[in-house]
Amino acid sequence: MASVKWKKVLAWAISRFPFLNALTLLMLLGEKAQFNNTPPLPPKLIYIHLAVFVLCACAMSWRMKHKEAALVHAGQLLYLAYVFFTADKLYYSEWLKIKISHRMVGVAGIFILFSHLLHKDQSKQLQRYAEIVIGVSLVCYSYLLLNSRDDKRAVKYHFPGGDNVVYAISGALGASACSFLAGRFTIDAARVSIFVISLLTIGVDIDLHYWTNTLRMDFWLQVRLVCDNIYFITGLLLYVLCYKVEE
């Protein structure tokens, strides 16, 4: 019974995530506008995305075409990941663009998975697509920790163990990615990912002072990155709980 209640709570939260996405995107672009004469993204594109965020959140919250709304939101996040990766006016480094984009891709995978979980009687094709997208995101996460100087330094600054802890975390994420991409032992991979990403979020990403003052990260960008990890963890928790309920 407890698992069923938590499943409902997590599904309720995921349905309302697009509202928070809209808020953080608006605040980030507002923060960038203080330093740039021209908007980093075309205004029409910004308004369209904000409207779609709100519509998807309302549809999922009110259970009106909520499966379709989850897929639309997933597609929107994949498109935004591409936009942020290719937008030169944001003036972000290549590693930071990868970081922003891969987290959006991970959340897109969660919403594809959420669409599948809303209709368990459907084919498992959506689940397979979600596993592949989540796996790709985890591959990028692991690669980023090993190769991005700022991310590697942040992990070593917040955790003891030096390079060894970086290799351990990156290895755990890489192993989980392989499981999702292969479609094997995905529940175990989800549990490992929940633990590791929760550790990174609480121990590293949530230190806003470090990111905004030491590394000069935009405040609302770091908030978005933290929120993306929370979305990702929440979605994987729902996936694991649905598996338990089936058992």
What is 161-205 written as a DSSP string?
A: TTHHHHHHHHHHHHHHHHHHHHTSSHHHHHHHHHHHHHHHIIIII
* pLDDT, tens only, 80-110: 999 889 887 777 889 999 999 999 999 999 9
C-alpha distances out from residue 242 to 63, 137, 193, 246, Å:
19, 22, 17, 6
Mean model confidence pLDDT for the chain: 89
CA distance linking residue 1 with residue 206, whole number of Å: 32
Give the global pTM: 0.92
* Among the listed residues 238, 189, 228, the one whose alpha carbon sits nearest the alpha carbon of residue 205: 228
Residue 125's pLDDT is 86
CA distance linking residue 189 with residue 204, whole number of Å: 21
CA distance linking residue 157 with residue 211, whole number of Å: 12
* pLDDT, tens only, 71-88: 999 999 999 999 889 887
* pLDDT, tens only, 186-226: 999 999 999 999 999 999 999 999 999 988 888 999 999 99
